[in-house]
Amino acid sequence: MTLGNAALYFDPEGYSISGPKLMGRNAAGHGFLNGLFRHAKVDHFTAFTDQPTSFRAFKSLAAEAGAHAPVQEIQKASMGKLAEAGCVFYPGPGLGLHAWERELFGSRAWSLCGITHTTLSGRAMNGISGLLTEPLYPWDALICTSRAVRDTVRNVLEAQGDYLAARLGATRFPMVKLPVIPLGVECDQFLYSDAETAKARTELGITSDETVILFVGRLSFHAKAHPIAMYQALEKAAAGRKITLIECGWFANDALEDAFEKTAAAVCPNIRRIVLDGRIAEERRKAWGAADIFCSLSDNLQETFGITPIEAMARGIPVVVSDWDGYRDTVRDGVDGFRIRTAMPSSGFGNNLAARHALGLDTYDQFCGLTSQFVAVDSEQTAEIMIRLIDGPALRREIGANGRARARDHFDWACIIPRYQSLWAELAEERRSAPEFDIGKRQMAGWPARMDPFRSFASYASMSITGATHLLRITDMTADKIADLRKLPSFPLLDRSLPSHPDVMTFLERIPGDTPTSLAKICHPAEISQISVAIVAWALKIGAVRVT
């Protein structure tokens, strides 16, 4: 199996789990980067950066992860070097801007590879719908973390294609690849000794006759998972049983914390709740150590994959999850855990919700919350499953062992990273061998919204400098005078576009001071270059030459 490599578009925020708001995309990015550093079979790791400080963070993370290969940087100012990398990985679905930037170097200069995390936001949806109209090709890819999210992407692209066909008569849409590659975990991080488990339970005041149910994730009823189905199920299961619920996560504000407290008081008064700050590694470790059963009844359209059930399987405890999006790909019902029935309205019900969000009448948070209000998770089935697991320690051990084996064989980063590398190698081969994409007879302008300003604004000046332009050098504009003008603070950016002063003078001295001569003849036998035109334009600006 051929394995490829890619430069990583690196902004530290996208890979950090140390901020006050620990989001799923942060955890996923951090896990992927660590997995890549530890398991990728490459000669080097490359960061593609916008800011000089970013590479320092990249090197630090590589050192922490024990990266086995050296690290290197490609800065935005040297973007053309990405052709050497062959592929650029972006930790999000919006590839359009990056595709247009690539057009400045050629559509086959390198491949682009993005990934879906949440796809509900307007920004994410714009990025997905733009896949049909931006300069993206079959040698590019958008990784879908689950089959469910791939279906979402296809639904959006189908609707966008219908619009473009009706509006423009478009019939051909070069498509990016949509491979399904799940997120991963480092399974060894979830191994616990009996002593560590006992210590965690002791520190939390949990006795041996209590069954601990664990939820890990952001504590948000509108943006992650409404707790009511879990609370109702545990209250029913509590009859004659000692149950402790650990909720390991974080509240974005006091109002959310108050909402959870009041919901629990009203729905599961007989359940002991322990809330731990999931942003603190020691607290997460303690929560996983104490747990007997994992529960995550996600009901939110923001979810695309769900990493915590895999972490629970790696921990070796049974999982109880909603039959929802990526959970369907990871949890085998009755084998590694149990999937609980879900229901939501059919197509057409949400048009008003979408319109209110599109018009700005509802915020994104409100849109998430409103849609999730109409997603139901079967609390009765959840209660039945919980009772079976609480009363069946042998069943818990069997299901937990199955989950641990599945996590190690299918979802450890050691298994996932080679799938990324195989994809990157496949994109490279596609880029080399795919037939030319016919864009018609008109010459493309590169990036139309960012094209050569002297093309888009061609009608502004009286004339354009071409090979037919006849020039005459002003002989009393000496080399010293030109050098002094160049040093003026009103010409601070010249060095970006002009060669050195001696090279400028070498060219200007080829322009006669007595006979008007065309630029084409002056440049002969070399063809007219951007540099020669730039020298002539600036020389005209300072009065060192004139047009006849």
- pLDDT tens readout for residues 160-206: 999 999 999 998 888 999 999 999 999 999 999 999 999 999 999 99
Q: Does pLDDT of 99 surpass 80?
A: yes
Residue with tokens 């935005």: 76
Please state whether the peptide bond connecting residue 525 to the residue before it is cis, i.e. omega within 30 degrees of 0.
yes
Q: Does pLDDT of 297 surpass 80?
A: yes
Instruction: Write out pLDDT tens, residues 148-170.
Output: 999 999 999 999 999 999 999 99
Task: Give the pLDDT confidence score for residue 22 in this predicted structure.
Answer: 60
- Which pLDDT band, with edges at 50, 70 and 90, does 259 fall under? very high
Residue 441's CB is within 10 A of a number of other CB atoms, namely: 5
Instruction: Write out pLDDT tens, residues 475-528.
Output: 999 999 999 999 999 988 888 889 999 999 999 999 999 999 999 988 865 567
- The residue ranges of every structural domain in the chain are 7-183+418-433, 187-411, 461-547
Instruction: Write out pLDDT tens, residues 103-143.
Output: 999 999 999 999 998 888 888 999 999 999 999 999 999 99
- Which pLDDT band, with edges at 50, 70 and 90, does 7 fall under? very high
Query: In the structure encoding, which two tokens stand for residue 350, read together?
Result: 């949400």
- Which pLDDT band, with edges at 50, 70 and 90, does 445 fall under? low
3-state secondary structure at position 198: helix
Instruction: Write out pLDDT tens, residues 25-48.
Output: 777 888 999 999 999 999 999 999
For residue 5, what are the contacts with CB-CB under 8 A and spacing of at least 6?
40, 42, 43, 44, 46, 85, 86, 87, 421, 424
Q: Spell out the CATH class of 187-411.
A: alpha beta
Q: What are phi and psi of 17, to 5 degrees?
A: -115, 20
Going from the C-alpha of 441 to that of each of 438, 485, 486, the distances in angstroms are 8, 45, 43
Q: Does pLDDT of 438 surpass 70?
A: no
Task: Give the pLDDT confidence score for residue 508 in this predicted structure.
Answer: 93
Q: For residues 523-545, give the mean pLDDT.
A: 84
Report the percentage of the chain scoring pLDDT > 90: 79
Q: Does pLDDT of 231 surpass 90?
A: yes
- Which pLDDT band, with edges at 50, 70 and 90, does 80 fall under? very high
Q: For residues 429-448, give the mean pLDDT.
A: 67
Query: In the structure encoding, which two tokens stand for residue 409, read together?
Result: 């064989």
Instruction: Write out pLDDT tens, residues 309-356.
Output: 999 999 999 999 999 999 999 999 999 999 999 999 998 899 999 999
Q: Which of 334, 350, 257, 337 is nearest to 295 (CA)?
A: 337
CA distance 162 to 147: 22
For residue 174, what are the contacts with CB-CB under 8 A and spacing of at least 6?
136, 137, 138, 437
Report the percentage of the chain scoring pLDDT > 70: 95
With contact defined as beta carbons under 8 Å apart, do 115 and 143 qualify? yes
Mean pLDDT (the chain, rounded): 92
Radius of gyration of the chain (CA): 30
Q: For residues 211-218, give the mean pLDDT.
A: 97
Q: For residues 424-436, give the mean pLDDT.
A: 91
Task: Give the pLDDT confidence score for residue 222 in this predicted structure.
Answer: 92
- Which pLDDT band, with edges at 50, 70 and 90, does 451 fall under? low
Residue with tokens 């960061």: 47
- Which pLDDT band, with edges at 50, 70 and 90, does 442 fall under? very low
